[in-house]
Amino acid sequence: MQVLENISLKKYNSFGIEAFAACFSNFKTVDEARELIALNRTSNQKRETLILGGGSNILFTKNVDGLVLKNEITGIEKVEENDEHVYIKAGAGVNWHSLVLYCIENNFAGIENLSLIPGNVGASPMQNIGAYGVEIKDVFYQLEALHVEDGNLVTFNLADCAFGYRESIFKRRYKNQFIITSVTYKLNKKPFFNTSYGAIEQELEKMQVKELSIRAISDAVINIRSSKLPNPAEIGNAGSFFKNPEVPKDQFDNLKNAFPNLVGYVLENGHVKLAAGWLIEQCGPQDTVSWKGYRAGDAGCHAKQALVLVNYGNATGAEIYSLSSAIIQSVKEKFGVLLEREVNII
Ligand code: FAD
Ligand code: EPU
């Protein structure tokens, strides 16, 4: 548990952006984390702390003039069970997809639709990760987090987390105030299959699945994701760069009149969620028809998924950020809709 100085963060972020941390360390236990924050608190050069998981939802636009702490708390355990549910507690440093595979192996249902999302358990509540009709809030039981100021371990239950679409209290009011050390999920012993979203049904048919299972759903999700999302090991990216924007129904109706192919989904609150990928695809820089597939230097907009910005090699965080600003501006000009960045900008 050494504190290192001036460390490159390139291999610690899935965008593959070069940035340096003034100080860097990692921790494998809650006590080590507590020690590191206490050391920082009492130092006469107290530094801002940034917690890093898998670095798959971060864009570094500058060096970090503070202390980067990489969470490596591992371990998966069954803490409780009854006839219907099983409660699985995982260390914040456990790779998310390995937890999904562990649950599938043991027939614990609920997170199979969230297969292949990069990153670690500790970040799963940060933005209430979601895909293919399921969000963390649907299976969340509680989490433990260290308060950076006093080192106390605090338990947060579902109602405390203020989960929303790609939102939680840790992204807003408690930003940078807590280190999530473990998360407990409430999973189902009797699976409830969720195949209604997107292309899952079609993919299951293509796979010629005879009997539905959580493994089959996981495999279908993996196939769909692999067909359109760039693998960060090959092309730097952080998944969807923007959120899908919500607009009131009358704004949607007006837009739909003007743009009949507009893609939107009606929400329970009556608003409509627009497919930002479609909006981006319909706009472009002046001399190009569409942002989709656009490239300037090593910064680009993915050719198969316009919502994903990519680093082809040596783009800087500032270049990716500036591309995102140009996209926001052109979507605003054409549709009057303001896109919000989903990725955490540092
Ligand atoms: P990091 O990028 O390391 O951190 C993200 C944020 O959380 C940062 O602000 C960081 O400071 C904070 N943080 C991380 N760990 C902790 C902790 N233990 N305590 C306190 N704060 C912490 N997301 C989805 O929701 N759905 C998807 O379908 C999806 N698909 C993706 C596909 C690709 C190809 C990629 C690259 C990303 C995708 N993402 C998706 C985004 C990303 O995978 C998730 O946001 C993931 O949860 C990030 O985990 P991480 O460990 O890499 O977090
Ligand atoms: N679309 C286009 N062009 C594009 C991309 C999308 O027209 O280039 C339209 C299509 O009509 C498509 C629709 O948008 O049917 C939806 O696309 P997709 O199913 O790929 O999903 P998404 O809305 O672009 C969201 C999440 C993803 C998540 C998938 C599956 C957000 C911001 N993104 O993407 O999450 O995996 O749904 O549930 O909500 C992430 O957060 O990083 C992420 C990848």
119-134: pLDDT as tens digits: 999 999 999 999 999 9
Residues 245 and 322 in one domain: yes
What pairing do the DSSP bridges indicate for beta strands 236-240 and 264-266?
unpaired
**Rounded CA separation 102/297 (Å):** 41
Domain extent at residue 164: 76-228
CB-based burial, 205-232: b 16+ in 10 Å, e otherwise: eeeebeeebbebbbbbbbbbbeeebbeb
Ligand with the closest atom to the CA of 66: 1
Q: Which of 200, 228, 256 finishes a domain?
A: 228
C-beta 124 within 6 A of ligand 1? yes
What does the pLDDT look like over 186-198, one tens digit per residue? Answer: 999 999 999 998 7
What is the best residue among 291, 307, 341 to mutate for testing ligand 2's pocket, by most ligand atoms within 8 Å of CB? 307
Q: What is the CATH number of the domain that holds 29?
A: 3.30.43.10
Residues 103 and 149 in one domain: yes
Q: Whose CA is nearest to atom 1 of ligand 1?
A: 55
Task: Output the CA 218–ligand 2 centroid distance in Å.
Answer: 18
Please say if 342 is a catalytic residue: yes
Task: Output the CA 258–ligand 1 centroid distance in Å.
Answer: 36
Give all strands of the β-sheet with 64-71 in edge-to-edge order.
4-8, 20-27, 64-71, 49-52
Q: Which of 209, 228, 247 finishes a domain?
A: 228
Residues 171 and 215 in one domain: yes
C-beta 239 within 6 A of ligand 2? yes
* Helix, coil or strand: residue 234: coil
Residues 130 and 25 in one domain: no
Degrees to nearest 5, angle at CA 314 with 313 and 316: 130
Residues 120 and 246 in one domain: no
Q: What is the CATH number of the domain that holds 256?
A: 3.90.78.10
What does the pLDDT look like over 33-89, one tens digit per residue? Answer: 999 999 888 887 888 999 999 999 999 999 999 999 999 999 999 999 999 999 999
Residues 268 and 341 in one domain: yes
The reported pTM is 0.97
What pairing do the DSSP bridges indicate for beta strands 344-345 and 58-59?
parallel
Question: Tell me, what's the pLDDT at 197?
Answer: 85
Q: What's the structural domain count of the chain?
A: 3
Residues 177 and 257 in one domain: no
Amino acid identity at 233: A
Residues 25 and 51 in one domain: yes
Residues 45 and 111 in one domain: no
Task: Output the CA 295–ligand 1 centroid distance in Å.
Answer: 25
Residues 118 and 223 in one domain: yes
**Rounded CA separation 213/106 (Å):** 12
Q: What is the CATH number of the domain that holds 143?
A: 3.30.465.10
Index of the ligand 1 atom closest to the CA of residue 166: 25
State how far the alpha carbon of 186 is from the alpha carbons of 44, 78, 189, 261, in Å.
43, 10, 10, 39
What does the pLDDT look like over 136-191, one tens digit per residue? Answer: 999 999 999 999 999 999 999 999 999 999 999 999 999 999 999 999 999 999 99
Residues 122 and 35 in one domain: no
Q: Whose CA is nearest to atom 10 of ligand 2?
A: 278
Q: Which of 212, 228, 244 finishes a domain?
A: 228
